[in-house]
Amino acid sequence: MNRRQFCRSAAAASLAAAYPAALLAEDAKAGVAAVTLDGRRIELSRAVVRDFGSRLSGPVLLAGDPGYDSARHIWNGMHDKHPALIAQCTNSDDVHYAVEFAGANSLLTAVRGGGHSWPGKSVCEGGLMIDLSRMNRVTVDPTARRAMVGGGALLNGLDTAALEHGLATTAGVVSHTGVGGYTLGGGFGRLNRKYGLAIDNLLSATIVTADGRVRRVDAGTEPDLFWAIRGGGGNFGVVTDFEFQLHPFNRKPLSGNIVWPMSQVRDVLEFYAEWSEKLSDEMYCGPVLFKHPEAGDVVAMDVVYNGDPAAGEKELAPLRKIGKPVVDGVIVQDHMVMQTALDGIMAHGVRSYAKNGMVKAWSQKLVDRIIEGYDPRIFLTNHVAGGAVKRVGELDTAFPHRNAEIMLVIVGGWADPAADSALTGAVRSYFEAIEPLTGGYYDNIDYDHSAGTDNYGPAYARLSKIKLRYDPRNLFRLNSNIKPA
């Protein structure tokens, strides 16, 4: 090959790497069909899309491109949407250009971190998906006890990197969940009674707001915006980096599950309702009702003791005396055993629907309705709160449910689309029985509500004003949306 041929080949290779294959086809004369924020159908010219792609260091994918289908699919198999474009960003500059492009063209915009949005809001039909999955780096400074986490990182990456240094922070219960959406909504986890929610451990963040500006925010820099992203979800921009406080942690805590047959559910729940009021910050323990593949219908307790295992054994002893467990798997074991225990049940592609409610105090009526409403086709699980979560002021962050002792979650998971109607109906029916005894819901999980004063209470007015300042057009609306004041 002579020099001229080589140069032409190199240029072609460079062009192919920069632009979607669909844009390079000689017969690609039509524009790219897209949907705007107000639902209008428009056509983006190929030249405009090529120019956008040339600005990013990561690829811009269109339908038909290699990788497009894998990128558009998110965790919950209930959602099968087709964005007009997927911008696979690799840094904050890429996100800046993507947000700028979305704003200039008034595009419906979804932001994908880990793709774990239960209601499917990390993907959109006909709009722009800003995909952060390549921005998944996690670095730990063990001396300062800090973790720097990319906006597309998963909780498994955060846990793994921190544990290598004998450190940890609150990090969810399903390890393939994305750090970004999980944190912005509040961030419950098995260590939250001692360390607080994920947002209570967030020290700073880099966020690209709707005007395309890349901002570094913390308690002293743009404090209103920093307050808002700690519980206000993805309403205020795209967070490309998080800085978390880490804590000394024994990676082999006392943890596991205790399981009783459903015939003993009343004894277990009535005891738990009283016993749980006096638990230490170190003890995380919450009930689950489900159909076990071998033991049948059961009630179980998910346990992690974040402290001296001997002290944990002593605190757990009264629970172990209730009824006759068919399994007692609470032992000293690696923390990642529990952190990954639900990964298979909640595997990518599962079709899932969930409802949840915050519980301020257990009551006999709540116990009765949990037992009476149980449906073996679905399951009841929880996120335990209290402890350090409750000691943060109600308006110190945007998260609105500091006074809850526990969050109850009704979940269905299945493979067959034909079961969608029956099982979503079963979840709703079970939740309707307990909803009057709850107060508010967790936005990260809730499927049906829109954010409002009913859930954010006195924080909503401030959130709405901050939304107006940073996103007056409501570009970031695919979330539990807060309207600009």
Closest Cα partner for 443 from 470, 463, 419? 463
Q: What does the pLDDT look like over 220-248, one tens digit per residue?
A: 999 999 999 999 999 999 999 999 999 99
* 454: pLDDT strictly greater than 90: no
Asked if 156 and 175 sit in the same domain, the reply is: yes
Asked if 271 and 417 sit in the same domain, the reply is: yes
The H-assigned helical ranges of 283-402 are 309-320, 335-339, 364-373
pLDDT at 11: 38
pLDDT at 452: 64
Rg (CA), the chain: 24
What is the arithmetic mean of pLDDT over 311-333? 97
**Cα separation of the two ends of the chain:** 64
Q: Read off the amino acid at residue 389.
A: V
Last residue of a domain, one of 131, 163, 195: 131
Mean pLDDT of the chain: 93
Q: What does the pLDDT look like over 131-146, one tens digit per residue?
A: 999 999 999 999 999 9
- Asked if residue 444 is part of any domain, the answer here is no
Any idea what the CATH number is for the domain that residue 208 is in? 3.30.465.10
Q: What does the pLDDT look like over 64-88, one tens digit per residue?
A: 999 999 999 999 999 999 999 999 9
- Contact (CB, 8 A) for 404 and 360: yes
* 483: pLDDT strictly greater than 70: yes
Asked if 158 and 212 sit in the same domain, the reply is: yes
- Asked if residue 235 is part of any domain, the answer here is yes
Gap between the Cα atoms of 348 and 195, Å rounded: 29
Range of the domain at 307: 254-437
Query: Maximum CA pair distance of the chain?
Result: 85
pLDDT at 30: 82
Cα angle value 154/241/338 (rounded, 5°)? 25
Last residue of a domain, one of 437, 459, 480: 437
Gap between the Cα atoms of 189 and 164, Å rounded: 19
Gap between the Cα atoms of 343 and 452, Å rounded: 32
pLDDT at 14: 42
In terms of DSSP bridges, do strands 167-168 and 128-131 run parallel, antiparallel, or are they unpaired? unpaired
Residue 41: which residues within 8 A CB-CB, separation 6 or more? 33, 34, 35, 126
CA count, 13 A, side-chain hemisphere, 368: 4
Any idea what the CATH number is for the domain that residue 84 is in? 3.30.43.10
Asked if 300 and 171 sit in the same domain, the reply is: no
- Asked if residue 453 is part of any domain, the answer here is no
Question: How buried is 365 (Cβ within 10 angstroms: 0-12 exposed, 13-18 middle, 19+ buried)?
Answer: exposed
Any idea what the CATH number is for the domain that residue 362 is in? 3.40.462.20
Q: What does the pLDDT look like over 265-298, one tens digit per residue?
A: 999 999 999 999 999 999 999 999 999 999 999 9
Gap between the Cα atoms of 15 and 400, Å rounded: 49
Last residue of a domain, one of 421, 437, 453: 437
Paired tokens of 97 = 């250009």
Q: What does the pLDDT look like over 155-174, one tens digit per residue?
A: 999 999 999 999 999 999 99
Confidence of residue 21 (pLDDT cuts 50, 70, 90): low
Asked if 165 and 195 sit in the same domain, the reply is: yes
- Asked if residue 445 is part of any domain, the answer here is no
Gap between the Cα atoms of 305 and 284, Å rounded: 6
- Asked if residue 201 is part of any domain, the answer here is yes
* 1: pLDDT strictly greater than 50: no
Asked if 290 and 161 sit in the same domain, the reply is: no
Asked if 147 and 71 sit in the same domain, the reply is: no
Residue 47: which residues within 8 A CB-CB, separation 6 or more? none
- Asked if residue 478 is part of any domain, the answer here is no
Asked if 344 and 425 sit in the same domain, the reply is: yes
Asked if 259 and 355 sit in the same domain, the reply is: yes
Asked if 103 and 156 sit in the same domain, the reply is: no
**Please, what sign has the CA dihedral across residues 379, 446, 172, 157?**
positive
Q: HEC states along 361-385? A: CCCHHHHHHHHHHCCCCCEEEEEEC
- Asked if residue 6 is part of any domain, the answer here is no
Burial 115-151 (b: 16+ CB within 10 A, else e): bbbbbbbbbbebbbbbbbbbbbebebeeeebbbbbbb
Domain count, the chain: 3
What is the arithmetic mean of pLDDT over 180-191? 98
Paired tokens of 293 = 């593949």
- Asked if residue 162 is part of any domain, the answer here is yes
Asked if 316 and 293 sit in the same domain, the reply is: yes
Asked if 424 and 279 sit in the same domain, the reply is: yes
Instruction: Indicate the SS3 state at residue 239.
Output: strand
